[in-house]
Amino acid sequence: TGEQLVLSTGIMTWLGIAVIFNSLVLVTNAIMQAHGDVNTPVRNMIIGGVVKVALNYFLVGIPALNIVGAAMGTVVCYALITALNVISMVRHKLAKPRTFLAVLRPGLAAVLMGACAWMANGVLSAFLPQKLACVGAIGAAGIVYVILVLALRVITYDDCMLLPGGQKIAKILRISG
């Protein structure tokens, strides 16, 4: 129904934002664990979980918010954990990542892939059923992403060495250490 659509749109909007913070939590947890700090990420997750439970209790109880309050609590939870992780990383002076390599190049590849998917769907929708156009757009976007990852040198020699047969992969991709 229209009412359910409006409700689910609100929930999905908030959960879409939560995905961003959830991804940042995963990355910052991995960075801290890679530097030998396994306790801080767990502590920060517990703090975030307690805040989420408390917020859900209060926000869901507000009639104007109802179940959307739970999604809002999820955003606050993951944003808080991200902030606590970043503060912990700054305090412990963990090695700074090479921003361009670690964020900008993969981000550029992702944005261009998204644009490719959008354009391919627009073109394919003109002469194919929507489901086939969507599958075609996803395939085109995947191919473009692989090409961009290789062209922008997103994958490093160290990344290759983490894989079985890393030497061969690095040689095929012409990546040197």
Q: What is the mean pLDDT of each run of 10 residues along the chain (177 residues)?
A: 82 91 91 88 96 95 91 96 92 68 81 93 92 93 91 83 87 83
> Cα(14)–Cα(17) distance, rounded to whole angstroms?
5
Compute the distance between CA of residue 59 and CA of residue 65 in angstroms, rounded to an integer: 7
Which 8-state DSSP code applies to residue 128? Answer: S
> What are residue 174's phi and psi, to 5 degrees?
60, 45
Task: Give me the pLDDT at residue 121, please.
Answer: 92
Measure the CA–CA gap between 23 and 54, rounded to whole angstroms: 22
Q: Return d(Cα 85, Cα 125) in angstroms, integer.
A: 43
